[in-house]
Amino acid sequence: MAPRQLGDETSPSLRGDRCTLLVPLGATEQHGPHLPLDTDTRIAVAVAEGVAARIDDTIIAPPIAIGASGEHQGFAGTLSVGTRVLTDMLVEIVRTAGPELARIVVLNGHGGNAYALRAAVDVCAAEGRSLEVWSIRLPGADAHAGRTETSLLLHLAPEAVAIDRAVAGNTDPLDELLPKIMDGGVREVSDNGVLGDPTGASAAEGARLFAALVDDAVAQISAR
Ligand SMILES: [Zn+2]
């Protein structure tokens, strides 16, 4: 059965419901020469659909497709609303949701949104409301537009991947790169915008990684 989408509902059709609202949160930012700008959004939407297929009474919100991506500024196509606006947006979504959307869970596909998510969770908690967050995490994953994300996209949207243009970027560990990225953005450490190495990415690996993401999200959401 296709997952329920909030945008397809009418207001009366939700009356009396007590749903879990899944909010896919992505980004519109450069992903090297071979992956689309909406890579993180596609992953977040796909995880939401995977979760909705396995947990009852879920409904998927329209995705938030522009996040906090200031670190990718200077690469063509990148858009960002920044941490403060994203924080406010998440808080307002929680404030305005009625009892029919009893639980709100953000499914986050972009690491740079983490600061806004933490801040929004804190504001909501202080107001006596709950905002739950699941964020993409895979053991051993490379940071950005590398083997991990390329495999995921080869599984989810192969037509959107220009695999013949996939080349390695900066493969140093992310914790070594982070201070430089905080300072001068991804530009500072990678000419092609890739952090990692997409060489060897495959749809089969992407299918395994994606299943692990959905399992992780389902486990977290079911645990509460
Ligand atoms: Zn990404």
- Separation of 127 CA from ligand 1 center, angstroms? 32
- Separation of 209 CA from ligand 1 center, angstroms? 14
What residues form DSSP beta bridges with 103?
A: 20
Select the CATH number that applies to the domain covering 6-223 from these four: 3.40.1280.30, 3.90.1280.20, 3.40.50.300, 3.40.50.10310: 3.40.50.10310
Domain spans of the chain, in order of start: 6-223
Mean pLDDT value across residues 116-121 = 98
pLDDT for 140 equals 84
Q: Rounded CA gap, 114 and 112, in Å? A: 5
pLDDT tens for each residue of 163-179: 999 999 999 998 899 99
For residues 211 and 139, the model is more confident at: 211
Nearest in space to 134 (alpha carbons), one of 105, 97, 93, 104:
105
pLDDT band at 224 (very low <50, low <70, confident <90, very high): confident
pLDDT band at 20 (very low <50, low <70, confident <90, very high): very high
Instruction: State what percent of residues in the chain have pLDDT above 90.
Output: 94
- Separation of 16 CA from ligand 1 center, angstroms? 37
pLDDT for 201 equals 97
Q: What are phi and psi of 208, to 5 degrees?
A: -65, -45
pLDDT for 1 equals 74
- Separation of 165 CA from ligand 1 center, angstroms? 17
User: How many Cα atoms sit within 13 Å of 146 on the Cβ side?
Assistant: 18
pLDDT tens for each residue of 45-97: 999 999 999 999 999 999 999 999 999 999 999 999 999 999 999 999 999 99
- Separation of 161 CA from ligand 1 center, angstroms? 13
- Separation of 164 CA from ligand 1 center, angstroms? 19
Residues within 5 Å of ion ligand 1, judged at the Cβ atom: 39-40
pLDDT band at 108 (very low <50, low <70, confident <90, very high): very high
pLDDT band at 139 (very low <50, low <70, confident <90, very high): confident
- Separation of 126 CA from ligand 1 center, angstroms? 31
- Separation of 210 CA from ligand 1 center, angstroms? 14
- Separation of 38 CA from ligand 1 center, angstroms? 8
For the CA atoms of 153, 159, 163, 169, the dihedral, rounded to the nearest 10 degrees, stands at -40
- Separation of 28 CA from ligand 1 center, angstroms? 9
pLDDT for 30 equals 97
- Separation of 143 CA from ligand 1 center, angstroms? 8
Nearest in space to 195 (alpha carbons), one of 182, 179, 178:
178
